[in-house]
Amino acid sequence: MKHTLSVLVEDEPGVLSRVAGLFSGRGFNIISLNVAPTLEKNTSLMTIVTEGDEQIIEQIIKQLRKLITVIKVVDMNTVKTVEREMILIKVNAQNSARAEILRIVDIFRCKVVDVSPSEITIEATGNSEKLTALINLLHKFGIKEIARTGIVAMKRSMQLS
Amino acid sequence: MKMKGAQILLECLKQEGVEVIFGFPGGAVIDIYHELPKYPIKHFLVRHEQAAVHAADGYARATGKVGVVLVTSGPGATNTVTGIATAYMDSIPIVVFTGQVPRLLIGNDAFQEVDIVGITRPCTKHNYLVKDPEKLPQIIKEAFYIARSGRPGPVLVDLPKDIMASEIEAEYPKSVSLRSYNPHYEPNLKQVKKAVDLILEAKRPLIFAGGGVIASSGNKELTWLARTLQIPVTATLMGLGAFPGNDPLWLGMLGMHGTYVANMAINHADVVIAAGVRFDDRVTGRLDSFAPSAKIIHIDIDPTSIRKNVRVDIPIVADCKEALLALKEEISKRIKDKDLSERYQSWRDKLNAWNDAHPLTYKKSDEVIKPQFVIETLYELTGGDAIITTEVGQNQMWAAQHFKYLRPRTLLSSGGLGTMGYGFPAAIGAQVAFPDKTVIDIAGDGSIQMNIQELATAVWYNLPVKIIILNNSYLGMVRQWQELFYNRNYSATHLEYNPDFVKLAQAYGAEGYRATKPSEVKDVLKQALKSKKTCVVDMVVEKEENVYPMVPAGASLSEMLLV
Ligand SMILES: Cc1ncc(C[n+]2csc(CCOP(=O)(O)OP(=O)(O)O)c2C)c(N)n1
Ligand SMILES: [Mg+2]
């Protein structure tokens, strides 16, 4: 099963390679990884999407906590969260296709961020299902390039059970 | 205080209580070596940096203190890697200081530059590159704290030359606190109660001790538990010495070359108290048939050890000593003054019967020296009052099986990494720590050649280490596998061109002895043990002797090949 892990780390040189090295060295899988500074000085937040059975996920979390530079690890699968990912998609948009693509952009509430006579670049934000659906729909026009941020996640303020 | 970086480093080491450093100089650490003679720290110059790390490791294992290493950048640093990985696998506290090129040159492929922090990231508990001179004292403090606390391990500190050479204003901090590192020592008392419930209900309990018991000095508590409840004890290689090897409750080591009775015991136990172990594959054999009918209580300070390899019924994440102490208190409350000596009697009878049926043994000989006989004789002559180090291979397993370890920190052996070449430099480290004790490296003819150059070190510093080479002219353990599982295809394991170890010893200024017949063994060992010098004993032993019992790799512990 996929798990999203929120990993708060000391922002110091090498911290990314400590975390990445742990995954590669122990044969764990990183599906996506996002890193950026937090509000607090000298700390960064990593959002790691990984995959494994219960025992593997338990090991991954424990191994992460064991790293001296890791401050906190939360398995976001154990709480209610908001998860979002941003994606940029460059798609073929010859005359006839343009209108249909723009309609899809509208329905998915995405944005057009770049246009040329033959292509449109779309920016979309959402959870993974929404983005997968969007990619599927755009497929037939010919997707030329994709760039994704990987998931970022946050615990919801209200944890309704 | 305002001083040169090198002086700050040494001042900090002094304040940390460091008495001994093992090292080897070079351009990047020349500033440190320049200052070193002015400090009350004894430096031992080795002949290869790997040996410096093993020596610091041996010093740490023998004393429980942190071992310290100082080497130069580039090749000096890379030569330490095997030693660091060895210490890492066995959770040994050492701090390794490596020189680094000046900060301005880092990343430019400068002369003798290597990214040692990158290289050792997966085999250190933590490591540092000092970039900011002001942080030097704090980093040193953290390095020692991290190395010795929690689950101990090696820490590396990389020191750019310009920082060592320049004037810095700094104070050595009195204490450390790291928000992201707070080892947890106290056991959860609920878990302890549950464990005691389980232990007192058990019919066939077994104590299974590992290196964690020794690291935490929990051997007294473990021994109390075993003797009070009359529970039999087995141990991993790393746990030998945690419980007296001459006690009637002692079953011998467990695992691939464990005793028949220990492996049968774990196969039939209904409760296993596993303290300070990590269930390595050499110990468990095939996982799905490991301790099939047992509930497992697992005590370890490292949460990652728990449920990594085997299912656990009652995990206790804590320092072994603290957890065993809590078990003791809880058990004392419950049993009051009851006499428990009859408890588990039928279980112990069964174990005794197994042991009588298949004791640890070997085919004796009057013609050729049996390696096991050498170890037995060593035990007889020393009465167990010695620090034994081992190399790796058959020699290591015979040393584990046939010597009785009566106290913790008397067997120093590379368990996790299995590093040939470990034993001799580790013996040097132990002898440095205990100049008056008998320190013996039980060696193989292959392994000893991996760090034989340290004879120069031992002789120079008058360290009377005894190297007993079980010389079978083979990389014996690999040959044994080839014999048993690869059709006797002795590919690249026959050491046909060994040097004359006696002459070699003499060339270095050590004493050399040789025995070729069983009748000579005792005398030769006596002479070496009596000598105040570094001694090499070339024991010309049976060439194709095998280590038994043996559980083939991947088989379950009940599938033992016996003598
Ligand atoms: C550095 C290193 N290289 C290779 C091995 C693989 N290995 C394990 S035991 C062994 C044979 C050791 O030979 P020797 O020291 O003569 O010991 P014996 O088994 O004959 O007692 C080898 C090559 C190892 N453990 N360590
Ligand atoms: Mg050999």
Of B118, B180, B302, the CB nearest to A70: B180
On whether the CB atoms of residues A67 and A18 are closer than 8 A, the answer is yes
Q: Is the CB of B392 under 6 A from ligand 1?
A: yes
All residues of chain A having their beta carbon less than 8 Å from the beta carbon of residue B146 are 68
Question: Is there a contact between B302 and A66 if contact means CB atoms under 8 Å apart?
Answer: yes
A93: number of CA atoms within 13 Å, CB side?
21
Report angle CA B55, B57, B58 to the nearest 5 degrees. Answer: 65
How close B122 gets to chain A, by Cα (Å)?
7
Phi, psi of B447 (to 5 degrees): -60, -40
Strand A81-92, strand A152-155: pairing: antiparallel
pLDDT(A128) > 70: yes
- Which residues in chain B show pLDDT less than 70? none
Question: Is there a contact between B304 and A14 if contact means CB atoms under 8 Å apart?
Answer: no
Looking at all shown ligands, the one closest to residue B419's CA atom is: 1
B122 at the A interface (CB within 8 A)?
Answer: yes
**pLDDT per position as a tens digit, A61-87:** 999 999 999 999 999 999 999 999 999
pLDDT of residue B400: 98
pLDDT of residue B337: 76
User: Ligand 1, closest atom to CA B448?
Assistant: 15
For the beta carbon of residue B203, count every other beta carbon within 10 angstroms.
11
Using the CB atoms, write b or e for B100-130: b if 16+ within 10 Å.
Answer: bbbbeebeeebebbbebbebbbebbbbbbbb
Show Cβ contacts of residue B383 under 8 Å, excluding neighbours closer than 6 positions: none
A23 at the B interface (CB within 8 A)?
Answer: no
For chain A, give the mean pLDDT: 95
Q: Which two tokens stand for residue B374?
A: 């050498």
Closest alpha carbon to B464 in B444, B429, B442, B439: B439
pLDDT of residue A161: 67
Strands in A2-10's sheet, in edge-to-edge order, are A30-37, A43-51, A2-10, A70-75
All residues of chain A having their beta carbon less than 8 Å from the beta carbon of residue B178 are 68
Q: Which residue carries 């400590």 as its tokens?
A: A18
Q: CA–CA separation, B530 vs B94, rounded Å?
A: 32
pLDDT of residue B113: 97
pLDDT of residue B339: 79
On whether the CB atoms of residues B494 and B482 are closer than 8 A, the answer is no
Q: Which two tokens stand for residue A58?
A: 């338990």
Show Cβ contacts of residue B296 under 8 Å, excluding neighbours closer than 6 positions: B271, B272, B274, B310, B311, B312, B313, B314
Residues 513-552 of B with CB under 8 A from A: none
B117 at the A interface (CB within 8 A)?
Answer: yes
Identify the three-state secondary structure at position A156.
coil
Q: CA–CA separation, B9 vs B137, rounded Å?
A: 7
Confidence of residue A96 (pLDDT cuts 50, 70, 90): confident
How close A38 gets to chain B, by Cα (Å)?
16
Question: Is there a contact between B118 and A17 if contact means CB atoms under 8 Å apart?
Answer: yes
Provide the H-helix boundaries in B358-403. Answer: 371-382, 394-402
Q: In angstroms, what is the C-alpha Rg of chain B?
A: 24
On whether the CB atoms of residues B54 and B46 are closer than 8 A, the answer is no
Q: For chain A, give the percent of residues with pLDDT over 70.
A: 99
Q: CA–CA separation, B264 vs B279, rounded Å?
A: 17
All residues of chain A having their beta carbon less than 8 Å from the beta carbon of residue B131 are 13
Residues 196-225 of B with CB under 8 A from A: none
Which residues of B does the annotation mark as catalytic? 49, 111-112, 161, 477
Q: Which of B398, B422, B475, B540 to mutate to test the pocket of ligand 1 (most atoms within 8 A of CB)?
A: B475
B81 at the A interface (CB within 8 A)?
Answer: no
For the beta carbon of residue A26, count every other beta carbon within 10 angstroms.
13
Q: Is the CB of B472 under 6 A from ligand 1?
A: yes
**pLDDT per position as a tens digit, A7-54:** 999 999 899 999 999 999 999 999 999 999 999 999 999 999 999 999
User: Which regions of A64-160 does DSSP assign to beta strands (E)?
Assistant: 70-75, 81-92, 111-115, 119-126, 143-148, 152-155
Q: CA–CA separation, B337 vs B343, rounded Å?
A: 14
Chains A, B: CB contacts within 8 A come to 39
pTM for this predicted structure: 0.97
A17 at the B interface (CB within 8 A)?
Answer: yes
Cα–Cα separations (whole angstroms), residue B411 to B326, B405, B443: 27, 7, 13
